[in-house]
Amino acid sequence: MIAAIDLEGVLAPEIWPYLGDEFGLPELHLTTRDTADFDDLMGQRVGALSRAGLTLAQVQHAAHRVQPYLGSKEFLHRIRRHCQVMIISDTFHEFAEPMMDRLGGYNLFANRFEVDSSGRIVGWKLRIRGRKAMVIDGFRKAGFRVIGMGDSLNDLTLLQMADHPVLFRPVEKLRSELPDAPTVQTLDEALELFLSIFRKNGSDA
Ligand SMILES: [Mg+2]
């Protein structure tokens, strides 16, 4: 069994709005919870950082201060006895790698930035965006069953492809796309649901 879990909004706060507060840039408050057009969203974010004259290093420095939600590390620790844990996110490695250490050291599948010679962000390489279904399909073709958990529309294809989709405090649009998927509001509820799935499937399924 593999647990493919979203990061922001599930295990940790959204990083971009935090950066919006840190640097006084309201444009950064829009997230994937607000829009499904990721390229448009990224264009607005990178444009705002560029106009503010910020380098990736400066932005990273702030992003690395974001802490996981209380209980996230414990949640992952408890499920890892029963499954492999993969964090699959539309965030960026440059922002979220320290978070992985704080969560207990898991594999992160995320995107990467492109920077120019002065260290400014000029673009992004979407290694995960639009490929979540492919990643989950790959796990399944390799013989694993997959529990998927996410909160926003950008998790839709991951959840559609998973054997066991779990909606974590979902936006309404996601809930209406997957009306039959169980919804949880807390990591305690998620743990209970995951454990019942493990019991039904056996730990090595
Ligand atoms: Mg999310």
CB within 8 Å of 181: residues ≥ 6 apart: 159, 165, 166, 167
Cα(169) to centroid(ligand 1), Å: 10
Q: Which residues pair with 84 in a beta bridge?
A: 2
pLDDT of residue 48: 94
Mean pLDDT across the stretch 130-151?
Answer: 92
Are the C-beta atoms of residues 78 and 191 closer than 8 Å to each other?
yes
Q: pLDDT for 52-86, tens place per residue?
A: 999 999 999 999 999 999 999 999 999 999 999 99
* Ligand 1 centroid, distance to 148 Cα (angstroms): 12
pTM value surpassing 0.85: yes
| pLDDT band at residue 205 under the 50/70/90 scheme | very low
Q: How many whole angstroms from 88 Cα to the centroid of ligand 1?
A: 10
Structure confidence at residue 70 (pLDDT): 96
What's the chain's average pLDDT?
93
Q: What is the pLDDT of residue 131?
A: 82
- Ligand 1 center from residue 117 Cα (angstroms): 31
What spacing in Å lies between the alpha carbon of 89 and ligand 1's midpoint? 7
What is the Å distance from ligand 1's center to 11 Cα?
A: 9
pLDDT over threshold 80, residue 32: no
Helices 187-201 and 72-79 meet at what angle, rounded to 10?
Answer: 10
- Give the mean model confidence (pLDDT) for residues 117-142: 88
Cα 118 to middle of ligand 1, angstroms: 31
* CATH superfamily of the 15-63 domain: thrh gene product, domain 2 (3.90.1470.10)
Provide the residue ranges of all domains of the chain, joining segments of one domain with +. Answer: 2-11+70-115+124-200, 15-63
Cα separations (Å) of 11 from 96, 99, 104, 159, 163? 12, 10, 12, 16, 21
Active site residue 40: no
pLDDT computed for residue 58 by the predictor: 97
Whether 88 has a pLDDT exceeding 70, the answer reads yes
- Order of strands across the sheet that contains 183-184: 121-125, 107-115, 84-92, 2-5, 146-150, 164-168, 183-184
CATH topology of domain 2-11+70-115+124-200: Rossmann fold (3.40.50)
Strands annotated E in 116-202: 121-125, 146-150, 164-168, 183-184
Which residue out of 6, 90, 151, 155 is catalytically annotated? Answer: 6
Confidence category of residue 37, pLDDT binned at 50, 70, 90: confident
User: Do 90 and 38 meet the contact criterion of CB atoms below 8 Å apart?
Assistant: yes
Centre of ligand 1 to C-alpha 199, Å, is: 27
**pLDDT 10s digits, 155-186:** 999 999 999 999 999 999 999 999 999 999 99
Residues 6+ apart with CB under 8 A from 197: 1, 147, 164
Nearest-angstrom CA–CA distance, 95 and 57: 10
- More confident: 205 or 3: 3
Active site residue 192: no
